[in-house]
Amino acid sequence: MHRPGSRSWIVGTVVGLLLLAGAGAASAESKLRVVVIAPFDATGLEREEQWMGEGVAQILALGLAQHPSIVQIERGRLQSVTRGETWTEPVLSQAARSVRADAAFFGRIERRGTDLAVVPQLMEMKQGGPEVTTLEPVVAPSAELFGRLATLPVAYVRTLHVPTTDAEAARIEKAASPTRVPRAFELFSRGQISALRGDQEGNEASVDLLSRAVEVDPSFVVAAYMLGVVHSSLGNRWKAAAQFRAATQLDPLYPEPYKALGDLYLSQPRRLFDQAVEAYSKAIELRPFYADAYVGLGDAKAAKSDIDGAVAAYQKALVYNPVNPRVHMSLGKIYYGEKGLYYEAVNAYKKAIDLDPNSVDARMGLGEVYEDKGLYKEATQEYQRVIEIDAKHTGAMYNLALVYEKVDPKAAITQWERYIELASPLPTEKDWVDVARQHLRKLKNQIKD
């Protein structure tokens, strides 16, 4: 039996789920705008000022999270497309098309005498090719620049002709001014740049920078929350939880830390499902169009065997974000829960992978379905792709060794040795390593005989 790549699920058969979810998404898709937000080009500035390009992108992302019709693509998905290339217009166009975005927000920052100028640009993805519009520049002295950028997200939305109420505009502008302390915002932006590297060194540098941002401005709730996110990436669960709770105390109306707490509860070894449902529900109460919180709520309800509740949550998630790969991945898990809906599960996982080719969870799920059905070649391909994306993914290495046992015992021996070498130092892998060693001894004895 394969080793599951993620949480075990106790689920039933759900008939017609994708049709219902697809209908809900289609009804909302006409009023949604899927957007990519790129860091602004700041290469014309002095090196110590170039963090400002990321700073503008952060202001846009924070502000636009408040608009129900704007769907933002996570930067991590974009980086897998751009592979670290400079954000030129051709690269941005390719990235936007690859994630099915309707538009991309980008621009440049340049010095004009003693002032700095932010020159915003909008790329709309049209059938005949991308169309670029330049918005009104924001010009101000360096010390005042970021205080004047709070109106920029609304300017982008209105240029896209997305209806926006006065109340929505006010919420956007407030969210786009996360701190009044310029030094704190600089540290925060630098911390985000480090975290986006996605490696241990980058995360550790981000912790230092974000901690300093919070020290400079103790009321900087977004920095406190992001510090928790980075701690979570480093595996520091207790520190992450402490930061998320601190963020909820700083601003009880900020939904992100509640959603993050839900994620922590759901991944705890003790599986705190009820607490996860409560945390996700609180995030949704604060932001009714919070698609990722609906996905988490669906996962938590599915884990509690509340399939109807999970279905309803996933449908909501698709209404507010029809290009969210996590929803389709979760649907794949539900479809295969009782091993009765093979084709639906495969299609759901493939849809998730189509939306995000680097989704290791979707590829793990698809590999497990193939493995259970005896499609070992296809399972091997998915597990190998996971390892290509994440060379330290112990679950994929373990499952791949099991598949090799059925088709190529010598390859299985090599794979078990690789897994054991990687996983032995990890306390969480101890039981799996013990099983792996048993498999390895058995195979070696068989080959000797």
Please provide the CATH number assigned to the domain covering 33-177: 3.40.50.10070
**Given a cut of 60, is residue 294 above it in pLDDT?**
yes
The fold of the 328-448 domain, in CATH, is 1.25.40
pTM, rounded to two decimals: 0.83
Domain with CATH 1.25.40.10 in the chain: 328-448
At residue 25 the predicted structure's pLDDT band, cuts being 50, 70 and 90, is very low
Distance of CA 343 to the CA centre of its chain: 26
Each residue's pLDDT tens digit, 81-106: 555 557 889 999 998 998 889 999 99
Each residue's pLDDT tens digit, 269-283: 777 999 999 999 999
Which of 156, 190, 153 shows the shortest CA–CA distance to 42?
190
| Contact predicate 330/359, CB 8 Å | no
Domain with CATH 3.40.50.10070 in the chain: 33-177
pLDDT at residue 21, rounded to an integer: 43
Return the amino acid letter for 85: E
Enter the tokens of residue 288: 């009714």
What percentage of the chain exceeds 70 in pLDDT? 91
| Contact predicate 63/154, CB 8 Å | yes
Rounded CA-CA distance 56/167 in Å is: 23
Each residue's pLDDT tens digit, 136-182: 999 999 888 988 999 999 999 999 999 999 999 999 999 999 999 99
Rounded CA-CA distance 366/368 in Å is: 5
Rounded CA-CA distance 243/249 in Å is: 10
Q: Give the mean pLDDT of 411-435.
A: 93
